[in-house]
Amino acid sequence: MDTAKSTPSRWFLTPPSTEADVRLFCFPYSGCGASMFRNWPTRIGPAEVVPLQLPGRENRTREPHFGTYEELADQLVEGIAEHLDRPYAVFGHCGGALPAFESVVRIVERGLRPPERVFVSSQVAPQDGPYGRFLGLDEAGLRAELVALLAALGAARPPEEMLDLYLEVLVADVEANKKYRKDAAGSLPCAVTALGWDADVEVPHALMGGWADWVARDAARKEVLAGTHYTFLDAPADLVAALERDLKAMV
């Protein structure tokens, strides 16, 4: 077990280990914080799983929302730059995939070490969006979805005033998604794995082909796993195996 930890940062619930060979930075889904990865293993193959904590949620509730994905990426890249000192990958599911991608764009623009691979799950490519049922829901609809999401996470329904705070974050996250679109322009210096789910009615895997436009032809891979939109929360064996296969290739 790793005991050496790096300098604490508001972007992590727990500072990344200084002994990990590889890091897998995980972006939370819309309306959620880093704790949504609590059912994931702390390591997948050679990689330490490093959930990222975004402003306005959980232990950062008192901070204002980040605004747009571009603004978030600017803040986040500055905050985690010192931790990009070894091979790493990023993972984002649905509303987490787009800020993960935009952060990679910022990393490349700043001349920092790029990831070896980007894992995107249940999300269309930036040039094909914005896309998703959530984007057309009013606050009442988003509130109902939030209750369902909390249940999927195994959480009891919180008091209404707490639910109001969660809803405020979700609404702001959805607005950021609505504003984000980026035309495919050139290749990123990394690989991408697009992970779809065979029973996902929110983002059908057939719509995810556009991710291949962002990387070299031989650097894109798509895999369809068994499950629904929320199956990833429990880190099912086939998801872990898909991640591990690509992460092992990084060392």
The DSSP bridge pattern shows strands 47-51 and 22-27 to be: parallel
184-221 tens-digit pLDDT: 776 899 999 999 999 999 999 999 999 999 999 899 99
CB-CB contact of 129 with 25 (8 Å): no
Instruction: Tell me the pTM.
Output: 0.93
pLDDT along the chain (251 residues), means of 10: 60 95 97 94 98 96 96 97 98 98 97 98 97 92 87 80 90 96 86 98 97 94 97 97 98 90
Region of residue 95 (phi > 0: left; psi between -120 and 50: alpha; otherwise: beta):
alpha
The CA angle 179-214-48, to the nearest 5 degrees, is: 90
Give the chain's domains with CATH numbers: 22-128+183-248 (3.40.50.1820)
How far apart (Å, rounded) are the C-alpha atoms in residues 151 and 165? 17
